[in-house]
Amino acid sequence: MPSRDIYISADIEADGPIPGPYSMLSFGLAVAGTSDGAQFVAADPAKSTFYAELRPISSQYDPGALGVSGLDRDRLLREGRDPAAAMDAAGSWVRDVAGTDLTPVFVAFPLSYDWMWMYWYFVRYAREGSPFGHSRCLDLKTTYAVKAGVPIAAASKSRLPRWLVSRRPHTHHALDDAIEQAELVAALFTWSAPGGAGESPPGRSSVN
C-alpha cells in the first residue's frame, strides 16, 4: 500500500435527508493536500477539482432541502448528468489524482452526511465502486474536537476559531464549499493546538 494519503475534500447538495428515496443533486471534490502521517503538505484546492450536477433519481423531494442549494430540480431532470456516468467519472478522477503513490481519503465536515451520499452513489452506480473503499474517510468535526479538547457538541462550524476557518464564502455551491473546506483541512492538520481551542493560529503550511 502507498505510504502517503491524499485528502479529497467533498461537499454535496441533495434534495432530502437520505439517498434512495431522495436524490443527490450535485457534488464537488477538491484536493486538500497529502500526508505521510508525520507531515502534511497543503495543495492549492482550486487547482485540482471535480464537479457534477446530477439528474434526480426519484420524484420525492423535500422543498426545504432543495431550497438550501438553490438548484433548479426541473432543469436537472432535463440536463443533469446520468448518475452512473457522473460517479464513474468522479471515481476515475479520484484514482487519477491519487495515482499509484497515494491513498485517497475522503474528508468532510461533518463526514456523516456527505459520506453517506457519496458512498451510496458510488456503490449503487459506479462500475468500480468507491475509490475510497468502505472506510477511507476522515471527519473534520471529530478532528477539531480532539485537537481542541472540546465535546462534539461544541465542535460545530459556528464555534470554530475565526483564524481556523477559510476566508472563502460558504455559498452552498458544492464545488465552492469543497474548496473552502479544503483550506480547513490544511489549517487543522498544521495546527498543533497545544493550548486547545484558544491557541493562536499556526504558521502558513507549505503549498504544492
163 within 8 A of 18, measured Cβ to Cβ: no
Q: Strand (E) positions, the chain? A: 4-14, 24-35, 40-42, 49-53, 102-108, 137-139
Residue that has been written with the C-alpha cell 475534500 in this structure: 9
Q: Specify whether 173 is catalytic.
A: no
Given 134, 170, 172, 173, which residue is catalytic?
172
**Residue that the C-alpha cell 431550497 belongs to:** 67
H or E stretch including 175?
A: helix 174-189
Which H or E run contains 83?
helix 83-98
Q: What is the set of active-site residues?
A: 172
